[in-house]
Structure 1
């Protein structure tokens, strides 16, 4: 069993480094091309389950990658709710709260790491219960927590999994042990 973990394509805010949680924002032209480049890879796979975040940028990526007609929306794949930090860059947040780390501190007026962990654990449970390969279309921070939870680490361990836009990662098993097969895989231009 393989779980394809797919981060949405580039947006204007991912380019500027702004935290994009619940704000609806479209893909850039480059982000649409990133999503379209996924199509041949994903077309070679047979998926028992395809889940997508309800947010536009993830749904658009899923559609352009060729799996939109098979996808079920799963709110557990929503990006972290950044609350008061929505739209801010890391530098702006650092000025307000020196030493801030989302995976440890969460966001004022938004979600805590334990709230995100609870959502992600439900998605991991759905993926593990599927009878075959799975595709998950979502966002940077939530997918980093998902990777950590897949291999049995706490939500805070998401800090160790850097994830670019428009990438395909694969979670799997080594014997019966959950493992990361591919991480942050970028497709050729």
Structure 2
């Protein structure tokens, strides 16, 4: 994105955790990266190191901070606003053990709220509130799969992305610039 006074955001999903590998619902639990997750984060370094960012931030959960450190460097701030959805009573459960109504609602995403957890509307409010407060420039944010899915759904590109996927956004124009994941680069 040319420097037009707009806001460009690169969102990075954290690397694999044990709960990801086990298919467990992971929200606000502070689960560290696996060795594979660390390797995934290090593999992003050549891509991200070649870029210049005006700020580098991460969710305050260790999996996002650890990914940032391995993939780019120490984030300037650790922010709760960039956390995953709070799954409340569903936290830590294997996907296969979720009641059918919870699985259906979570796949639909919009309007979802786990028992004792956070709604997708609240997730949108806190994440977008942070994005709206960003100064013009390029920003790198290490976050979670639910945040990437939220944004992509709102931009008509609903996708589940793997650990260490990267989504580039022209936030000012509300446009997806690219999606990078296991399949490689997918430009808009």
**Could you say which TM-score interval applies, normalised by the shorter chain?**
0.7 to 0.9
Task: Tell me, in whole angstroms, the C-alpha distance in 2 between the residues paired with 1:178 and 1:86.
Answer: 31
1:154 maps to which residue?
none
- Between the aligned partners of 2:103 and 2:159, the Cα distance in structure 1 is 22
> The residue matched to 2:122 in structure 1 has which SS?
helix
Structure 1 stretches lacking a partner, 5+ long: 152-156
Contact 2:102 / 2:114 at 8 angstroms: preserved in 1? no
Q: Distance in 2 between matches of 1:98 and 1:43?
A: 38
- Separation (CA, whole Å) in 2 of partners of 1:163 and 1:57: 16
Select the residue among 30, 37, 47 that pairs with 2:43. 37
Could you tell me which residue of structure 2 aligns to residue 94 of structure 1? 99
Describe the superposition over 1:31-52 as per-residue Cα deviations: whole angstroms up to 9, x where unpaired: 0011011111111111111120
The answer to whether the Cα contact below 8 Å between 1:39 and 1:65 also exists between their aligned partners in 2 is yes
State which of 119, 124, 132 in structure 2 corresponds to 1:112.
119
Provide runs of 4+ in structure 1 moved above 6 Å: none
* Aligned-pair CA distance for 1:98: 6.2
Mapped contact 1:120–1:145 kept (Cα < 8 A): no
Instruction: Identify the residue that residue 161 of structure 1 maps to in structure 2.
Output: 159
Give 1:83 shift: 0.2
Q: Distance in 2 between matches of 1:148 and 1:124?
A: 16
Structure 2 CA distance, aligned partners of 1:177 and 1:131? 12
Q: Per the alignment, in what secondary structure is the counterpart of residue 105 of structure 1? A: coil
Residue of structure 2 in register with 1:145 after alignment? 150
Task: Please name the residue that 1:122 is paired with.
Answer: 129
SS in 1 for 2:98: helix
**Bigger fraction of residues in helix:** 1
CA distance in 2 between partners of 1:168 and 1:106 (Å): 26
Contact 1:38 1:187 in 2 (8 A): no
Q: Count residues in correspondence.
A: 176
Residue-by-residue CA offset, 1:144-174 (whole Å, 9 max, x unaligned): 213345x4xxxxx78x22111111221127x
Mapped contact 1:19–1:82 kept (Cα < 8 A) = yes
The structure-2 alpha-carbon separation of the partners of 1:49 and 1:95, relative to structure 1 and needing over 3 Å to count, comes to same
**How big is the alpha-carbon RMSD for the aligned residues of Structure 1 and Structure 2?**
2.2
1:85 paired residue number: 90
TM-score by length of 2: 0.83
Distance 1:92 1:132, change over 3 A: same
